[in-house]
Chain A
Amino acid sequence: MIHSLFLINPSGDIFLEKHWKSVVSRSVCDYFLEAKEKALEPEDVPPVIHTPRHYLISIYRDKLFFLSVIQTEVPPLFVIEFLHRVAEMIQDYFGECSETVVKDNMVMVYELLEEMLDNGFPLATESNVLKEMIRPPTILRSVVNTLTGTSNIGDTLPTGQLSTIPWRRAGVKYTNNEAYFDVVEEIDAILDQSGTTVFAEIQGVVGACVKLSGMPDLTLSFMNPRLLDDVSFHPCVRYKRWESERVLSFIPPDGNFTLMTYHVNAQNLVAIPVYVKQSISFFESGSGGRLDVTVGPKQTMGKTVEGVMVTVHLPKTILSVNLTATQGSYTYDNGTKLLVWDIGKLNPQKLPNLRGSLSLQAGAPKPEENPSLNIDLKIQQLAISGLKVNRLDMFGEKYKPFKGVKYITKAGKFQVRT
């Protein structure tokens, strides 16, 4: 299965290596670095590389490459999924996943990797189990550690892995028992020049932060479960209950986790919260062009649209831009040709507008294609599909937990073609 792991930063330095079987020389990474050189963007590096003796499967995430070395046949998704779990685990432990964080916590990351795989086969990937074996750092504990010379590795041996519920650690105790659920929906859409929807769908995630003592057994039901077209669950969810009653019945892991993801298939019935009026044109002479973009609210269900941001990858031949925004501010990076217009809250009375001129490099021909606009937005207290949580019940424990549900709608891959 997974033979070795290398962490590589974007400039090609290997800063951590871990071998689960015999040691593989880091020169194997040269094949990867070669492919990386060839690719224009780090995203374009092929995830699977075939070298004479090994297979390299890599992911690019949080500006880091996670490169695994494989020697025999294994489902590539198996490896990719695992690498993402490693990244998530680092994120979970240290708050972010970056080169500095990994370098600062080298020993701990190394130990975590040691626990996660045995002989290249995943052993413990549940955050709850790992945290019992190796405690995550806290400020207080790190002070205590430096004073007393102890470390973060648990003195007591874990029980979680051995309980009948592998994802939940035993003996959880809180003074305040709380369970919060976030319903986050993302709109993926492609709009064409005229503003008609080419493609739209809603992807939702029910995230949870459950801090409940003991072994609570929760049941979460929706007002309108029929909306959900396709779902995937955290392993804790009892699939049979869902099949028969359309309720989520589960014993939750402790802490933060993703309870389910879902897909709402409404095709063109998806409410598009904003409209974009745009005109980007280049002069035939090839000396420059004009850009004029206006964003306005469309189907917002009476809520305010916040955090609106328009991102444009301008053509490579653009030399400079000279724009004015009636609301918010814009930044333009001449290196990446990335124009970002941060609008903020949408005011229906006074629509934000960005207009001005673009100048091209001397002698460059008129660009073939107009760049497409990527829109970001956020609507609080609204699930655009209309999904609503009905109730949350708890069994198995006596106390009364504090419960809460939050809805957010965001733009996912929301693209306007021009």
Chain B
Amino acid sequence: IVCLIDYMLESNKESLKLEAMKRVVGLIAKGKNASELFPAVVKNVASKNIEVLKKLVYVYLVRYAEEQQDLALLSISTFQRALKDPNQLIRASALRVLSSIRVPIIVPIMMLAIKEAASDMSPYVRKTSAHAIQKLYSLDQDQKDLLIEVIEKLLKDKSTLVAGSVVMAFEEVCPDRIDLIHKNYRKLCNLLVDVEEWGQVVIISMLTRYARTQFTSPWKEDGVFDEHSERAFYESDEEKTRNEPEAKPYMMDPDHRLLLRNTKPLLQSRNTAVVMSVAQLYWHLAPKNEVSIVTKSLVRLLRSHREVQYIVLQNIASMSIQRKGMFEPYMKSFYVRSTDATHIKSLKLEILTSLANEANISTVLREFQTYVKSQDKEFAAGTIQAIGRCATNISEVTDTCLNGLVLLLSNRDETVVAESVVVIRKLLQTQPTQHSDIIKHMAKLFDNITVPMARASILWLMGEYCERVPKIAPDVLRKMAKSFTSEEDIVKLQTVNLAAKLYLTNSKQTKLLTQYILNLGKYDQNYDIRDRTRFIRQLIVPNDKNGALSKYAHRILLAPKPAPLLESAYKDRDRYQLGTLSHTINTKASGYLELSDWPAVAPDQSVRNVEVIEPVKIHHFIFPSTAHPTPSGSDAESRVENSSQSSEESDESSSQSEKSSSESESDSEKKKRKTKTPLQKKTVKPTAKDGPYLSKCYQPTFCSSDLFIFSLILSVCPPVYSALSPLSLSFPLQVSGPAFVPEKSHDLLHRMTGKGLSAQYQFPRQPCLYQPTMVSVQISLTNTSDHPLEQIHIGDRSPTGLNIHCFNTVECLEPEASVTVFMGIDFNDSTQAANFQLCTKEDHFSVSIQPAVGDLFLPITMTELDFRKEQGKLLGMNESSATITMAAENMTSQPISRPVATVANLGVVPSGQDDIHRCVFAGKTASSGAVVLVTVELRESSTALITINTEKSVMGSMLLRDLKQALAQA
């Protein structure tokens, strides 16, 4: 066959080659050796004709490159070329194959390729590079440091596609570099729901480990955590009350809470691995009273495939030992069916036993009665052990169980009888009084029992309680002496024991028998028995040499013995992280990462703050710009912005209008800044009295640096990505800064009604820091009264379901002073007013915030191409349009962006067309993230057509109404 394939591969016909390659892959799949075809195959690697053939060749290469390293090198250049291909899928597949070729000599080439791919435009290629990191690491561990750099970079990536893969790489390459996670922690938590399911598993397990090193234990009832209670910037009062219902000194770190909150929805995943990983996260991280929310989902998994059941039951077994209450309501779900596989049955039994308590024991025992009769004898034996455990755990039923077990002694099946004997022996040991009847009964059965363990157990019982059955025990010993040589080792040992004990208590009757048995034992084949015999003989038979010991023989042999503990095999299993392989096999699997104990004192929690947050919070509303106002935004973000900026720039040459629009924008920025400054002073001045000079003196510097960066981005940024940007088929809904922020502020509380407290609000049009679905609102509070106002905070709200992130309580506001605070409101994409109470120490005032529809949007950056694609999806009832008449002098695109931006917080989409009469804007709604697209087309005779595409049709029509008004004025 190989010759034939070789011939076919050499042919010129593509179809023959393809057929040949298929056969080759068939050989590989069957596990047959096809390595000798390497030279013939590798020639086709650069085949241009069909994609198909190439793919098959790749498959072959990956399989055999390791064996034929020299020849494999011939193909490398093809992949290097493909890495530069304009099609992202070709780039990705080239990297995939290149990194799968396990040839050490190409390590530097791989390293270079990975580095490049890590900053690729396409998230798919970046994902592939994360996979390649692991491959390279397993090939050459010396690259670790360089690879960590790439991982660090990729961790900052905001794409959900990349997140799972890079965390996987992190876990494999540098799981101990927890410091790389700090800055990405919140992002990972927030992205989690949207990551693909496999990535979720990996991220959750990593975050579990992370949390155990960074947060303090939520399980402690007391302890001093005062230094911990300084709150992070976004922790609300609402959370505070929820987290510490009894006003404990312990307070959960808001990041800890964030993790718990964001993983909870994943319990509803269809992927069992995801559900299990959330369950283990709750088990290891959540406060004790919250763990039980995972119960229902775990029980649900029991409906899944047998193998899933097996793993889930194992974990439930571990959990149920510590927390009976969690699974008790679902006890019936663990009832055994005759069709269950054996390992499933025994696990269910295990769990039922753990769940049994005084209240439900009768139900459990009735169920067990059915199981004992099972045809599956192994299972029946397991049930008997389970009954024994119930009997020891719950003293009320010990006697019932014991009687039941004695009945089983007359069972016809040997395994059942044997197991009963063993369990009875253990039970009797726990309470040996007044059970001589049972012992006698067992002695009677002794002749019929052949299972060694059972025989040994009876012998041991006889010996231990020989004083209670003085007549029977010597007789049993006599029988044993006869059959000694044919017994199993374990029975022999117990016979020797019995003999010794009887010799001590009743030497008159048994002296000869004992000596006979000891003699037999002395020449036994098994050295344990020989050893034991020798020991016993020295101990009990008095002679000169060892008189010292034999005095104590009675005390040694017949010492009261502690009763055995009948306990679960799953006890302490949870020293391994639940859901892991190590937990399943109950030994440490290679690569298992230990879950650390909670730290006594939480490490610095500010490490998780992303730098961008602080300055933005204070200043960014003052300096709106299309680019991000601060330089410290993460790479990924700025990259996207750069690309949008640069594509704008690259279009400049072709479209004059584009340039003018961006210029106009920056013009307007400058204007705004000028106009803003006085306002700024106004607000700063009164506060200055209290002493925050800081903000005053740091303002100007910030202003200038901000300006500088802004212009830098506009002018310096090289248009490297512009060539690639049309390729990006998807666009992340990347929120950009607002194009324009109206200075108009609205009255929230007049100073007359507010008894001296006046409040004004405005929409800074920035993405809300607290929750992405919220609209941020800036509130200036001023004290116009003559006495200080204390404890200004937010009270009751209506509708009650309204999701508000309150500002931190203002402890004291001096007369004449004012303070600016921020809050987030989830308007749920409606213009319905948010009503709440603004409270001071003495009073509370009902206030309401009414958003204009335009304030409920966030601008997003997208390309013209993406815009068209999105628009294509939002036709029909999602589209609303209107024609308006405009003044003739406004018929250029320049002024149009102004009124539109004033009305609605939308981003300008750089238009690649020469059409100067068309202006497009894009945004998304804050709550649901629905895309909102606005097109304004200027027509002849001073009319303009406004088109709005959004799935939120109500918001669409409201926006249309506002735009009509605004543009008609213009």
Are A190 and B337 within 8 A (Cβ)? yes
Question: Which listed residue (A22, A233, A396) contacts B878, Cβ 8 A?
Answer: A396
Question: Which listed residue (B276, B308, B581) contacts A73, Cβ 8 A?
Answer: B581
Question: Which listed residue (A22, A199, A217, A239) contacts B66, Cβ 8 A?
Answer: A22
A231: CB under 8 A from chain B? yes
Are A239 and B198 within 8 A (Cβ)? no
Are B877 and A395 within 8 A (Cβ)? yes
Are A121 and B168 within 8 A (Cβ)? yes
We find that the number of chain B residues with CB closer than 8 angstroms to chain A is: 107
A101 to B874, CA, bound (A): 42
B622: CB under 8 A from chain A? no
Q: How far is the CB of A404 from chain B (nearest CB, A)?
A: 23
Write the chain A residue with the least CB distance to B334: A199
Chain A residues in 8 Å Cβ range of B312: 77
Q: How far is the CB of A135 from chain B (nearest CB, A)?
A: 11
Are B66 and A230 within 8 A (Cβ)? no
Produce 1/0 per residue, B377-417, CB < 8 A to A.
00000000000000000000000000000000001110000
B342: CB under 8 A from chain A? yes
Q: Given known contacts A316-B375, A398-B876, is B198 in contact with A73 (CB within 8 Å)?
A: no
A201 to B332, CA, bound (A): 10
Are B59 and A110 within 8 A (Cβ)? yes
Are A50 and B306 within 8 A (Cβ)? no
B726: CB under 8 A from chain A? no
A415 to B432, CA, bound (A): 41
B201: CB under 8 A from chain A? yes
A157 to B92, CA, bound (A): 12
Are B270 and A235 within 8 A (Cβ)? yes
Chain B residues in 8 Å Cβ range of A90: none
Chain B residues in 8 Å Cβ range of A210: none
Are A26 and B31 within 8 A (Cβ)? yes
A153: CB under 8 A from chain B? yes
Question: Which listed residue (A82, A118, A229, A240) contacts B96, Cβ 8 A?
Answer: A118
Produce 1/0 per residue, A176-207, CB < 8 A to B.
00000000000010100000001101010000
Chain B residues in 8 Å Cβ range of A155: 50-52
Chain B residues in 8 Å Cβ range of A76: 311, 579-581, 584
Q: How far is the CB of A320 from chain B (nearest CB, A)?
A: 18
Write the chain B residue with the least CB distance to A165: B730
Among A108-134, those with CB < 8 Å from B are 109-111, 114, 118-119, 121-123, 125
One of B14-22, B75-83, B109-117, B834-842 contacting the partner:
B14-22
Q: Is the interface of B mostly helix, strand, loop or mixed?
A: helix
A323 to B303, CA, bound (A): 35
Produce 1/0 per residue, A372-389, CB < 8 A to B.
101000000000000000
Are B63 and A19 within 8 A (Cβ)? yes
Write the chain B residue with the least CB distance to A46: B343
B875: CB under 8 A from chain A? yes
Question: Which listed residue (A235, A258, A369) contacts B375, Cβ 8 A?
Answer: A369
Are A162 and B122 within 8 A (Cβ)? yes
One of A53-61, A296-304, A354-362 contacting the partner:
A53-61
Among B263-290, those with CB < 8 Å from A are 265, 268-273, 275-277
Produce 1/0 per residue, A148-184, CB < 8 A to B.
1111011101110111101000000000000000000
A-B contact count (CB 8 A): 259
Among B25, B31, B342, B591, max chain A CB count under 10 A is at: B31
B360: CB under 8 A from chain A? no
Write the chain B residue with the least CB distance to A370: B373
Q: Is the interface of A mostly helix, strand, loop or mixed?
A: mixed
Q: Given known contacts A233-B269, A398-B875, is B29 in contact with A41 (CB within 8 Å)?
A: no
B589: CB under 8 A from chain A? yes
B676: CB under 8 A from chain A? no
Are B581 and A368 within 8 A (Cβ)? no
Are B589 and A235 within 8 A (Cβ)? no
Chain A residues in 8 Å Cβ range of B193: 239
A344 to B733, CA, bound (A): 56
Write the chain B residue with the least CB distance to A188: B303
Q: How far is the CB of B14 from chain A (nearest CB, A)?
A: 7
Write the chain B residue with the least CB distance to A83: B307
B750: CB under 8 A from chain A? no
A63: CB under 8 A from chain B? no
Among B399-441, those with CB < 8 Å from A are 411-413
We find that the number of chain A residues with CB closer than 8 angstroms to chain B is: 106
Q: Given known contacts A75-B205, A235-B270, is B370 in contact with A80 (CB within 8 Å)?
A: no
Are A232 and B18 within 8 A (Cβ)? no
Write the chain B residue with the least CB distance to A134: B55
Chain B residues in 8 Å Cβ range of A352: none
Among A55-88, those with CB < 8 Å from B are 55, 57-61, 70-78, 80-84
Q: Given known contacts A41-B341, A119-B100, is B63 in contact with A50 (CB within 8 Å)?
A: no
A215: CB under 8 A from chain B? yes
B689: CB under 8 A from chain A? no
Q: Given known contacts A44-B343, A106-B29, is B102 in contact with A22 (CB within 8 Å)?
A: yes
One of B130-138, B612-620, B643-651, B755-763 contacting the partner:
B130-138
A9: CB under 8 A from chain B? no
A372 to B276, CA, bound (A): 32
Chain A residues in 8 Å Cβ range of B296: 229-230, 263
Q: How far is the CB of B98 from chain A (nearest CB, A)?
A: 12
A149 to B374, CA, bound (A): 59
Q: How far is the CB of A252 from chain B (nearest CB, A)?
A: 14
Are B730 and A233 within 8 A (Cβ)? no
Chain B residues in 8 Å Cβ range of A164: 730-732
A57 to B592, CA, bound (A): 17
Among B61-90, those with CB < 8 Å from A are 63, 66, 87-90
Are B18 and A47 within 8 A (Cβ)? no
A28: CB under 8 A from chain B? no
Are B198 and A121 within 8 A (Cβ)? yes
Q: How far is the CB of B274 from chain A (nearest CB, A)?
A: 9
Q: How far is the CB of A247 from chain B (nearest CB, A)?
A: 14
Write the chain A residue with the least CB distance to B585: A50
B593: CB under 8 A from chain A? yes
B305: CB under 8 A from chain A? yes
Chain A residues in 8 Å Cβ range of B861: none
Are B29 and A16 within 8 A (Cβ)? yes
Are A313 and B273 within 8 A (Cβ)? no
Produce 1/0 per residue, A35-56, CB < 8 A to B.
0000011011011101000010
Chain A residues in 8 Å Cβ range of B374: 369
Q: Given known contacts A110-B25, A263-B300, A396-B951, is B273 in contact with A415 (CB within 8 Å)?
A: no
Produce 1/0 per residue, A272-296, CB < 8 A to B.
0000000000000000000000000
A107 to B25, CA, bound (A): 6
Q: Given known contacts A55-B581, A76-B311, A232-B300, is B591 in contact with A121 (CB within 8 Å)?
A: no
A413: CB under 8 A from chain B? yes
Are B582 and A73 within 8 A (Cβ)? yes
Are A47 and B205 within 8 A (Cβ)? no
Chain B residues in 8 Å Cβ range of A58: 307
A60 to B309, CA, bound (A): 13
Are A150 and B52 within 8 A (Cβ)? yes
23 contacts between A and B (CB under 8 A): A15-B30, A22-B102, A26-B31, A43-B306, A47-B306, A47-B310, A48-B585, A72-B591, A76-B311, A77-B273, A119-B135, A149-B18, A162-B124, A230-B299, A233-B269, A235-B270, A240-B265, A261-B303, A367-B375, A368-B373, A396-B878, A413-B339, A415-B337
Give 10 closest A-B pairs by Cβ, nearest first. Answer: A149-B15, A72-B591, A369-B373, A398-B876, A77-B273, A47-B307, A122-B198, A199-B332, A73-B592, A78-B273
Give A contacts to B, CB under 8 Å: 1, 14-19, 21-23, 26, 40-41, 43-44, 46-48, 50, 55, 57-61, 70-78, 80-84, 106-107, 109-111, 114, 118-119, 121-123, 125, 148-151, 153-155, 157-159, 161-164, 166, 188, 190, 198-199, 201, 203, 214-215, 217, 229-235, 239-240, 243, 258, 261, 263, 267, 313, 315-316, 365, 367-369, 371-372, 374, 395-398, 413, 415, 417
7 further interface pairs, Cβ-Cβ under 8 Å (given A17-B30, A155-B50): A14-B31, A41-B341, A55-B581, A57-B307, A76-B580, A119-B135, A369-B374
